[in-house]
Amino acid sequence: MKQIAIGPEKNPRSAAVQGCMRIANLSEEALDRLIKTDLENGVTFFDNADIYGQTACETLFGKVFGKVLARQPELRDKITLQTKLGIIRVNDELEKAYNLSKEYILKTVDASLKRLQTDHLDYLLLHRRPDALVEPQEVAEAFEQLHEQGKVLHFGVSNHNPYQIELLKKYVQQPLEVNQLQLSIAFTGMIDAGLNVNMTVNGAVNRDGGILDYCRLNDITIQAWSPFQYGFVKDVFLNNPKFPGLNKIIDEIAAKYGVSNNAIAVAWILRHPANLQVILGTTNVTRATESAKGADLELTRDEWYDIYRAAGNELP
């Protein structure tokens, strides 16, 4: 599996990440198979969040992974565990609020460690969006305490723009090494804006403050979530009749390399030179295996642009 160097220490991590948002409905046996499959394919990075399944995903992962470590305790040093916090589910109607206060961060990390059955997190991210009421001094105090106690080794954010990251960096002493952002062949806003500079077309709209180039300049690894979806948490574009031209070119390139269309979707993201990771949200072991193969496949420039145009993007 291709390795990505993350942070100032250039820690090598697997380019593909197993996302755990959908594992709550798996049996312990099914999750055990998924984890084994990931490890066999070189996927050693696992992403969770306290809000996933209302803590059920962390709980199940910790229970199953604890059994894996009981069999192979040496795996803990080879595995990267990441979780996120900050989103609060306020009722059963999926209404949300955000909380990045010092008290909440410290309390939530302790709860996540207990559920995940580990004494430390390799990465902790501030989840989804910045808390509108965030006080970065409090975040800094929480991060410093967690780092000093050895509970969290590395830190990052999710869906933050450059100025929001800069605001945190003014106070936070630890490097912010990761930013989770939505990116797929059919969701390319952060790429479109760079290709349409000084244009009046829709693709020229800068919706994220130039986050792609900002992360490259500051050695922040972008973790691409929803790599097979279009729009905001909509359906997948692969094998979708709404995208006939796109699927035609993807299938042709997949046949050329002898891989699945999932692998091509992963390879397309990783072909970008921004030191990206891809979060695989599938819980199907066959698709997980197929998708992981994309991490070791490098598309040509022509193939990358053919796919980009087939997704409906016009180059100026």
Residue labelled with tokens 């989103």: 87
**Radius of gyration (Cα) for the chain, nearest Å?**
19
Q: How many CA atoms lie within 13 A of 114 on its CB side?
A: 7
Residue holding tokens 């820690």? Answer: 11
SS3 assignment, position 188: coil
Residue type, 169: K
Distances (CA, A) of 310 to 14, 156, 199, 286, 316: 29, 33, 21, 27, 15
Q: Which CATH number, 3.20.20.140, 3.40.50.150, 3.20.20.100, 3.40.630.10, labels domain 3-239+268-296?
A: 3.20.20.100
User: 250 pLDDT exceeds 90?
Assistant: yes
Supply the pTM of this predicted model.
0.95
| pLDDT tens digits along 206-236 | 999 999 999 999 999 999 999 999 987 779 9
CA gap 154, 175 in Å, rounded: 8
36-93 confidence digits (pLDDT tens): 999 999 999 999 999 999 999 999 999 999 999 998 999 999 999 999 999 987 666 5
Token pair of 89, please? 């589910």
Model pLDDT for residues 93-103, shown as the tens digit of each residue: 556 789 999 99
Q: How far apart are CA 196 and CA 212, in angstroms?
A: 14
**What pLDDT score does 93 carry?**
58
The overall average pLDDT reported for the chain is 95
Nearest CA-CA partner of 19 in 260, 292, 293:
292
pLDDT at res. 94: 59
Domain boundaries, the chain: 3-239+268-296
DSSP class of residue 198 equals: T
How is residue 314 written in tokens? 């016009």
Instruction: Give the helix/strand (H/E) hosting 163.
Output: helix 162-169
